[in-house]
Every structure is written in C-alpha cells, then in structure tokens.
C-alpha cells in the first residue's frame, strides 16, 4: 500500500485556525487570566497528543479542540469547562497525571478531569455490562454536573466523526448514544445536542431509513418553504402592528422524531401532518415575557382556529429540565394542522443550551436547586445496591423521556411526576416509608385505589397502614424509578429469605448424594431449570416449585444443552488441561465463536453450534444482522434495526457477534406485509393471485379488515431474501386501490 504523505505545515495552520475559532466562541466569558489558562491547556494538550492520530488519519488534537468548541458555543460553558475539554483525554491516553493538572490549573479542573477519566475507563471496549458502567457514570454527576456536560460534548463529536469507524463499532457507539446519552442530554435541557445525537444514531443504526427520510425532506423543501411563507405572512403583519419585536422561524422536525411517528403510528412519511413547526421568538424583558407570549397566542388564534386539545402551557409550569414555551396547534387555510411554539429569547436560549444558559439569567438559585434535586434522586436510587444494573438503567430511563404532570399535596405543595403516574407513585415521591405502607388514596376528596392514574391538577391525600407490605403486582402500575426501585428492593428482601431456605434444602439433598454445592453445580442447575439467576433457583426450591428429580445427573451437567456442551468441549481442547475444570465464561465462549474471522456466517456448519432467527424481528437473507450469545438458547440472529438491538448492544456489547448471510441454497423465511388502500370489489383476490401465481410465493395466512371504504390487510408469506420480498411488495403496490405496502416485524 502506498504511503500517505502528511503536510505537517498545513496541519499546523489548521490547528491554529481551530484554536482561534475556539477563543472567539468563548468570547466575553473569559477574561485575560482565563485566556492565559486556556492557552496553557491548549499547549499541554498539543504536546501530549503530538504523536497521536484519530482513525480518520487526522491529528488527535482536532478532537479536544472540537469538544472544547462544542462546550463553549453549543452548551455555553465558561473557561474552566473549556480547559477541561481540551485536557479531557490527557490523563487517560498520555503521560500527563492528575497531579500535573492540579498543580498547573487547580483542584476544580483536576476533579472534573478525574470524573471524565473515570467515565472513559468504564466505557472501554472490553466492558462486560454497559448498564453497570452507566451507574458509575451517574455517580460522577454527584461531584460536578460539568463532567457529564463535557462528556456529552465528547460523545457528540465522536458521533459526528463516526464515518471512519468499522461498521460493528459504529453500531455499538450509535446504540449506546441512543440508549444513554441522548436521554441524558434531554434531561439536562440540551435540545439541540439531544436532537443531533438521535439523528446521527439513526443514521448509523438504520442508514436506509435515515437516507429515505432525508431525501423526502429535501424533495419537499421548496413546497414547505412556500407553505410556511404564506402561513406566517398574516401573523407577521399583526405582530408588527401590535408593536412586538420578534423573530419567526419555520423548521422541520428532526429526522429521528419523524421516524418515531412513522414507527409508532404506522403511517408513511406523506401522511405525517406535523413535519415542521413554526417558532415565534419575542424580544421581551423578563418581567413582561409571560404576558407577551399570551398576547402572541391571542393574535395567532384570532387569525387561525386552534385545536383546544393541543395547547401546552410550559411557561406557567416549566418542565423539569427547565424548558419553557407555549405550544398551540392551529388549522391553516389549506386544511393542515400546524404547530406554533411561542417563547421569549431567554426561553429559547435555555431550550437550546439547557443547564448552562440558566446561569446567564439566574444566579445560583432556582435552577441549581432543581439540578441538585435531580442528582439527589439519582443518589437515592443508587443507594439500593441490590438492584441489578440492568433494572437500574431501565428504571432510570423510564423517567428521562416522560411527559410531566403537576399535582398537589393536601397542603397545596406542587409536585412534578411523569405522565401516567399512579397514586402509589405519589406516595413514594412523598417518602419511601409512606409508599411502603400505602393502602389507598383520596384524589380530590374521592377514595381511589393505589393503581389510580393521576392527572395534572389533582390533589392527593395518602392513606396508610403499618400492616401493609409491598406486593409483586405493585410493579404493574408504578412508573417512577424511585417507586420501582424501592418496591423491587423490598420484594427482593422477602425473596432472599425464602431463597435461603431453598438453598438449605438443596444443600442437604446434594450432601446425601455426595455432590458439593459449588458454583459449577449451581451453574448446571440454573441452566437446566432455565432460571435467570442462582437466587431465582433457590427461591423456586424454597417455594416448592422445583422438585429436584434426577438431581445427580443435572448437578453434574449431564443434561446441559447441546450447544453449550460443544462450546465447553471446544474451549477445553483449546485450553491447558490444568485450567479447564471450571465451565467457560460467556466472554470466553464468545471469543471461541468469533474465532480468527471475527464473523459468524449464517448458513454454515459452525461445528453444529446452534443459532436461531430471533422471533422479535424475523430477519431474512439480505437484512443487516448480528448474533447475540444467549445462555440457554444458543446464538440468536437479530436485524441491526431490531426494536431490541439498541438495548442489547448498549447493555451486552461483549455478547454481540458480527454476522452475515452465506450464499446458501434457497430457504424460505417468513415475513409480514401490511397493505392499506381503498376497498374495491375483487381487490383481495387480485392481491392473492399475485402472491400465489405470479411469483410462486407460499402464503401462511392473510387477513383483511374493511371500514367505511378503507381496508387494512396483513399477509404472512415465505420468501427467500429481501430482494424477493421487495419484488413482491412492488407487484402488490401496483394493484388498483392499494395505497401503501410496508414490511412489518412478525413477533
């Protein structure tokens, strides 16, 4: 391969150019002393990273400068954060130590960089369980929220430069971003960063979908601009007459939010009415901005008819992440609903930059206390060390994207809860002990059960009894992370007591047949009875649900699944005889599966290692896929855009195996097709004729529903690959009366 010539002089000029742009971004937020410190940090980073390059071949120093630029211009932080952004990789990747940072810059900078280094350490490539790492990441929030803000900037730049990474790394990093970082950006009010992370996440997890929506947005751009121009003309005229100073923007929704609407509502791009929103930003002093926003609302609703169900008032009661805005949806002259957002310049800056922008308008008061309140809730959740890492992250995520409701205590104190919260959630929000002993509630003076779903404006009084204990079914109607965490903890304590009894029963039985109760024996029993954990095994024995028949054979592993035995034998052959007494760990099993090629080829013999096509997404040849190593069911093959893919790749990256289809003999795979259109005589017959006669496809089932002249049909067919399926869908689309034909997952 020919050597690449590097123009070092041109790179030096580019580095200087980027550094000057960074100084411009920090602007007035840095005085002379700050600028000297920033220069010192830049020089130290430049020297420390001088021999390092990124995967793209660029000098490594481009990355810390870019992160510092995001921190300064897109988040709005000051000199301390810029210094830490420039140095964020030095302690991890170079000879620079935390003591060096402390001596050169100070204790604050040292603590922030220490937090960033800890995050980097827990998210390395060899990590086993990403959820456990995320718990550690959140612990660093307790020290200084700037740690996570700089980390978000770091992740955003990594996403912007993901093009140069290998495909499997792209999927892992993008999935992790969608699963953890985008929700965190949302929770901290960083709307722009959250939106860009989601769009880039979609670009790399589902490139075809991303490209399709992007193309359709470009193709409809001119039509949209003309529509927006006509729509805002009378509004602009009336606002000028009203003496208001303002700016009007019309912008399309994010690609990811459009994708979500397509997925959730099951409708094509063309049928989404709110592809864009109109934003009106008024230049008003803080003391009159609220009344001015309502004046604008009044002017707009005089011109266009509003939808009363779509009014959202977040200026009277801001959202938990500080977001303030007034949203309404009005009917345009062409019969389309249009969302209009009304806010002041201050509100807009906070909506765009989140946490940092508040400091411009408030001095350490309300917003700092709300951030502290959020961090204290996280710490409270993490006090429960018994919760598994995955339970913790799932519970935590429940509350990140939730819409909010506002409810009141009997004394009139305002409480913010996620939408869908029950009376029991409210009880736990008051205090853990109140939740544990809750037997019912009075909502607006009316007696309701624990499961009663609360609405904004409700006033709640909790009824309790010291004889009450948490029950398993409580988990079915609580939505807050705190309530779920505390209930699970209490249930686990009770479960542990029963499990201790079960363990004693098992120990006695094993002693009678001279088999030790060790990790190998317990592992064999867990696998045989398909239990999630040893605790569940002991619990089921204690409850009398497992009868322990043929105990000797099962305990010795003689009934292990065939795939696990093959892997164990293979592992044993490739290991020293002294070290193969213990069963292989999942990490070692995955290494054995990957082998030298680091690729699972679906359709090859694979030494008869079991693999199954996952029913949650039913992949077919041609789909981009990956393998997931399960404990009891061999390897499961998932589509890269499977609904569960992001969670699997984020939490179990070490169990992911790259996979591709081999050019094997043609086998039939089941796929689902959904057809919509205008009902017409003989349309079902025309569709089935195409499937059966023209393409010789076997059909497993077909069902059609018709209502008021419109039909929807679902057809289950057996096809050879994605090309075969696409050809079939194209033929069906040509049938007169059919409007849409889409593939759907058949789980």
The set of catalytic residues is 92-93
Q: Beta strand pairing status for 698-707 and 438-443?
A: unpaired
Structure tokens at 384: 């429960």
**CB neighbourhood size of 532 (10 A):** 10
Distances (CA, A) of 620 to 636, 670, 741: 13, 8, 18
Which residue is associated with the tokens 């913010």?
416
Which residue is associated with the tokens 């779903």?
453
**Sign, CA torsion 316/317/323/327:** negative
Structure tokens at 450: 């624990």
Alpha carbons 321 and 353: distance in angstroms, whole number: 11
Helix (H, G, I), strand (E, B) or coil at 675: strand
Alpha carbons 232 and 713: distance in angstroms, whole number: 41
| Phi-psi group of 673: left, alpha or beta (phi > 0 → left; psi -120 to 50 → alpha; rest → beta) | beta
Which has the closest alpha carbon to 197: 217, 176, 223, 225? Answer: 176
**Residue 5 neighbours by CB under 8 Å, 6+ apart:** none
| Phi-psi group of 306: left, alpha or beta (phi > 0 → left; psi -120 to 50 → alpha; rest → beta) | beta
Distances (CA, A) of 585 to 333, 574, 576, 588, 658: 65, 14, 15, 5, 19
Distances (CA, A) of 560 to 229, 510, 582, 669: 69, 18, 15, 29
* Gyration radius of the chain over CA positions: 30
**CB neighbourhood size of 477 (10 A):** 18
Concatenated DSSP letters of 51-81 = T-B-TTSSBTTHHHHHHHHIIIIII---HHH
Residue 322 near residue 189, CB atoms below 8 Å: yes
Q: What are phi and psi of 281, to 5 degrees?
A: -110, 115
**How far out from the chain centre does Cα 194 lie?**
10
E strands within 165-295? 246-252, 276-282
Angle between helices 107-122 and 146-160 (to 10 degrees): 50
Distances (CA, A) of 183 to 136, 191, 197, 358, 452: 17, 10, 10, 20, 28
Residue 369 near residue 353, CB atoms below 8 Å: no
Alpha carbons 141 and 138: distance in angstroms, whole number: 5
Provide the 8-state DSSP code for 317: S
Q: What are phi and psi of 743, to 5 degrees?
A: -85, 145
**Sign, CA torsion 260/261/267/270:** negative
Element (H, E) at 288: none
Concatenated DSSP letters of 335-403 = S-EEEEEEEEHHHHHHHHHTHHHHHHH--SSHHHHHHHHHHHHHHHHHH-TTS-HHHHHHHHHHTTS--
Q: Beta strand pairing status for 276-282 and 337-344?
A: parallel
**Residue 528 neighbours by CB under 8 Å, 6+ apart:** 554, 559, 560
Residue 522 near residue 546, CB atoms below 8 Å: no
Alpha carbons 214 and 471: distance in angstroms, whole number: 48
Provide the 8-state DSSP code for 413: -
């Amino acid at each position: 391969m020919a050597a690449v010539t590097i123009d070092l002089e041109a790179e030096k000029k580019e580095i200087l150019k980027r550094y000057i742009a960074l100084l411009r971004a920090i602007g007035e937020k840095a005085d002379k002393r700050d600028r000297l410190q920033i220069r010192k940090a830049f020089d130290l980073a430049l020297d420390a990273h001088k021999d390092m390059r990124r995967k793209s071949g660029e000098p490594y120093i481009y990355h810390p400068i870019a992160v510092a630029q995001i921190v300064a211009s897109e988040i709005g932080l000051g000199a301390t954060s810029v210094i830490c952004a420039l140095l964020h990789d030095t302690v991890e990747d170079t000879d620079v130590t935390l003591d060096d940072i402390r001596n050169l810059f100070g204790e604050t900078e040292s603590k922030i960089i220490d937090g960033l280094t800890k995050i980097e350490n827990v998210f390395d490539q060899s990590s086993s369980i990403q959820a456990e790492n995320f718990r550690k990441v959140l612990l660093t929030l307790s020290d200084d929220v700037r740690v996570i803000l700089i980390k978000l900037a770091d992740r955003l730049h990594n996403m912007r430069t993901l093009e140069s990474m290998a495909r499997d790394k792209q999927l892992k990093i993008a999935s992790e971003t969608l699963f953890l970082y985008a929700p965190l950006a949302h929770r901290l009010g960083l709307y722009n960063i959250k939106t860009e992370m989601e769009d880039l996440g979609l670009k790399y997890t589902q490139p075809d979908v991303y490209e399709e929506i992007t193309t359709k947005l470009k193709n409809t751009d001119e039509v949209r601009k003309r529509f927006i121009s006509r729509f805002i003309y009378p509004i602009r005229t009336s606002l000028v007459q009203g003496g208001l100073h303002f700016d009007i923007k019309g912008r399309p929704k994010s690609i990811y939010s459009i994708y979500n609407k397509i997925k959730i509502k099951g409708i094509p791009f063309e049928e989404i009415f709110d592809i864009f929103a109109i934003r009106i930003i008024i230049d008003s002093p803080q003391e009159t901005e609220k009344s001015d926003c309502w004046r604008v609302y009044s002017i707009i609703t005089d011109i266009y008819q509003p939808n009363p169900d779509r009014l959202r008032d977040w200026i009277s009661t801001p959202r938990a992440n500080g977001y303030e805005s007034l949203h309404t949806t009005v009917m345009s002259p062409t019969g389309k609903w249009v969302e209009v957002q009304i806010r002041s310049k201050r509100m807009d800056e906070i909506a765009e930059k989140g946490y940092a922008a508040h400091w411009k308008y408030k001095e350490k008061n309300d917003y700092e206390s709300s951030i502290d309140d959020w961090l204290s809730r996280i710490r409270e959740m993490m006090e429960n060390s018994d919760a598994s890492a995955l339970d913790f992250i799932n519970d935590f995520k429940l509350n990140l994207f939730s819409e909010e409701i506002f409810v009141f205590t009997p004394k009139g104190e305002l409480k913010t809860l996620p939408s869908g919260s029950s009376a029991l959630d409210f009880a736990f929000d008051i205090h853990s002990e109140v939740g544990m002993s809750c037997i019912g509630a009075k909502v607006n003076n009316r007696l309701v059960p624990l499961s009663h779903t609360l609405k904004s404006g409700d006033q709640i009084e909790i009824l309790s009894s010291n004889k009450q204990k948490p029950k398993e079914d409580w988990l079915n109607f609580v939505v807050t992370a705190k309530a779920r965490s505390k209930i699970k903890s209490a249930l686990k304590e009770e479960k542990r007591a029963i499990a201790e009894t079960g363990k004693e029963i098992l120990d006695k039985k094993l002693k009678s047949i001279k088999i030790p109760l060790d990790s190998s024996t317990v592992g064999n029993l867990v696998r045989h009875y398909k239990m999630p954990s040893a605790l569940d095994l002991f619990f089921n024995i204690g409850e009398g649900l497992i009868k322990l028949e043929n105990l000797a054979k099962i305990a010795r592993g003689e009934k292990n699944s065939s795939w696990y035995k093959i892997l164990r034998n293979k592992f044993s052959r490739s290991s020293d005889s002294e070290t193969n007494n213990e069963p292989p760990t999942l990490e070692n099993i995955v290494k054995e599966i990957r082998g030298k090629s680091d690729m699972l080829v679906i359709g090859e013999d694979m030494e008869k290692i079991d693999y199954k096509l996952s029913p949650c997404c039913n992949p077919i040849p041609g789909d981009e896929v990956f393998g997931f190593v399960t404990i009891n069911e061999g390897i499961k093959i998932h589509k890269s855009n499977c609904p569960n893919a992001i969670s699997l790749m984020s939490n179990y990256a070490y169990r992911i195996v790259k996979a591709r289809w081999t050019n094997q003999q043609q086998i039939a795979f089941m796929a689902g097709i959904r057809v919509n259109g205008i009902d017409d005589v003989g349309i079902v017959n025309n569709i089935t004729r195409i499937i059966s006669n023209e393409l010789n496809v076997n059909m497993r089932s077909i069902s059609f529903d018709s209502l008021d002249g419109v039909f929807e049909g679902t057809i289950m067919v057996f096809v050879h690959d994605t090309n075969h399926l696409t050809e079939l869908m194209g033929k069906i689309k040509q049938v007169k009366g059919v409007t849409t034909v889409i593939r759907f997952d058949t789980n």
